[in-house]
Amino acid sequence: MSAVRRRSKFLVLLVAIAGLALALSACAFFKAGSLSVSQPGGLGAARVHFVLCTNPDPEAGTCSPEEDEEEIQYLLGLAVPPGSSAPSTITAGPSAGGPPIVFSRNDQAAAEIAAATAFAREKNAEVEAWPPAGLEGVGYLSNAVREVEGLAVEWTVDADFGLPVPSDGGPFAGPFKVAPAYGFRGVDAEQSPSRPVHCLRFDGGEPDPSDAVCGPVGEEAEVATSDLKIGAPPTASVFVGGKASLAFGFNFGSTASTLPTFNVTASSNLSGAALAVSDPSFTPAGPDPSTHRSTGSDTVTVAVPKTAAPGVYDVTITAATAQGGTVTQVAKLQVTKPKLKVGKAKLNKANGTAKLSVGVPGAGTLTASGKGILEAQRKAKGSKTLKITIKAKGKAKKKLDSSGKARVKVKLVFKPSNGAAVTKTKSIVLKKKLP
C-alpha cells in the first residue's frame, strides 16, 4: 500500500473512529492482539513482544500482500515504567523474504508521538493519553525499508527492557507495563530518512507530505515481575591461612504469584581459596503486601590458603533462578600476613633475664623458644604489645653464671586465632652481675 493511500486511509480513520482520535490499532503494520510482555529469566529484564505485518486484517488475523513498491520509515514508541533500561536498537525479524526492520533510539519520535496524541485529545477527550499515566515513552525510528509488491510479511519483535531502579535503590516489585505507539512516513528523493521527525496533527486541510502518521496502538500489556538486589558487605580483613565470613544482604521485590528459588554460589579471584555459602538454595520470604518486598541474607565463608599472597581480592556471590535469571554482587577481601614488631630487649642484670617487647597484629598466642632458653608464652585478645621474659637454661645459663654473659637466639612464633603462624628470630646477649 502506498504512503499516500496509507495516509488517506489513516486520515479517514481519524475522522471515522472517535472523531479525531489517533486509533492506530486499525492501521497498517501493528498486528492486533500480538502484544505481550514476560520475564523469561524469572528475574531481570522484561521482554516486550509484538508482531508487525503488511496490511493486517484485525478480524481475520492475517497479513495482506503489499500493493506497491516504495520506501517507508517507521516510528515506534514504547511506554514503559520510568527508569527502565531501554535497548539502543530493536530489530524486527521477518518471517518471509522481506528485509528486517531495525529501529534505533530516537527521543524526537517519542516526543512527537506524545505531542500528536495530546493534540488529538484536545479535539476529542475520548482519545487515550500516550504515554499513559505512570509510564514514560521511549522512541525509535527505523531504517528506510523498501516494500515489495505482492509480498506478505510478518515481523516479530522481542525487545528486552532492564527493570527500573526505584529511588531508594531497592528492587523493582512490578508489575512491568507497556503501551506501544506506532507510525510511518514516506522516504524519497525529497524526503530524507534523516530529516527531523514530525507527527501529523490533523485539523483539516491537506497534510504535509513530510509528516509522519503516528499515534497509540490502543493496546497495553503487563507482567508481574521479581527483582533481587544484593548488598555488598564492608571489606573484610583476614590473615593468610585464616577464614573470613562475608554477609550479603538480600532485598527482594515481587508481584509474582509464585516466588523463585535461587541457587546461590560464590567465587573468588583468590587462587586456591575454598568458599562455602550458608544457604545454597535461597527462597525469599513472602513480600510485605504493602511494599511487595522482603529481606534476607546469605553468608560466604572464605578459607584463605597459607600460600596466598597478601592483597585485596574479589569475592562474588551469584543468585540464579531455574529459568536462567542471575544477579551478582562483589565484596572485597583484604588478605594480610601477620607481622611481628620486635623491640629492644630490656636486660635485668640482677638475675640475668631479659624482657622482650613484641607487637602482635591481633588475637592469638605468642611463643618464645630456642636453644638455651626456657619456653615462654603470652596470649593476646587483640592487637597489642606483649612483654615476654627470656630466661637462660642449660649450657647458656652455666655460661651466664660463670662469665656474666650468654648469647641466645630467640625464636618468636605468633599463632593468630584465625590464620597461619608467623615466625621471627631475635639474638639477645643476656648479662648478669657476678659477685
- Measure the CA–CA gap between 376 and 29, rounded to whole angstroms: 89
CA distance 186 to 190: 10
- The pLDDT of 281-286, averaged and rounded, is 92
| The pLDDT of residue 20 is above 50 | no
| Cβ–Cβ under 8 Å, residues 38 and 46 | yes
C-alpha triplet 159, 85, 108: angle, nearest 5°: 85
pLDDT at 176 over 50: yes
pLDDT tens-digit readout, 51-70? 998 876 666 667 777 677 78
Average pLDDT, rounded, for the chain: 89
Which of the four CATH numbers 1.10.40.30, 2.40.128.110, 3.40.50.300, 2.60.40.10 does domain 341-431 have? Answer: 2.60.40.10
**How many other CB atoms are there within 10 angstroms of residue 196's CB atom?**
8
Query: From CA 255, how far away is CA 259, in angstroms rounded?
Result: 9
418 contacts: CB under 8 Å, gap ≥ 6: 238, 239, 242, 243, 362, 363
Architecture of the structural domain at 228-336: Sandwich (2.60)
Predicted confidence at residue 12, as pLDDT, reads 36
Q: How does residue 209 score in pLDDT terms, banded at 50, 70 and 90?
A: confident
Q: Residue 157: count other Cβ atoms within 10 Å of its Cβ.
A: 22
Task: Taking residues 148-173, report their average pLDDT.
Answer: 90
Between CA 399 and CA 407 the distance in angstroms is 9
Q: What is the pLDDT of residue 15?
A: 36
Give the SS3 label for residue 392. Answer: strand
Q: Identify the weakest region by mean pLDDT among 95-104, 154-163, 251-260, 281-290.
A: 95-104
Evaluate whether 228-336 and 341-431 have a shared fold.
yes
13 — pLDDT class (breaks 50, 70, 90): very low
What are the domain boundaries of the chain?
3-223, 228-336, 341-431
pLDDT band at 8 (very low <50, low <70, confident <90, very high): very low
Closest CA to 69 of 182, 199, 187, 209: 187
Cell digits for 205?
486541510
Q: Percentage of the chain with pLDDT > 90?
A: 76
Distance, CA of 349 to CA of 351 (rounded, Å): 5
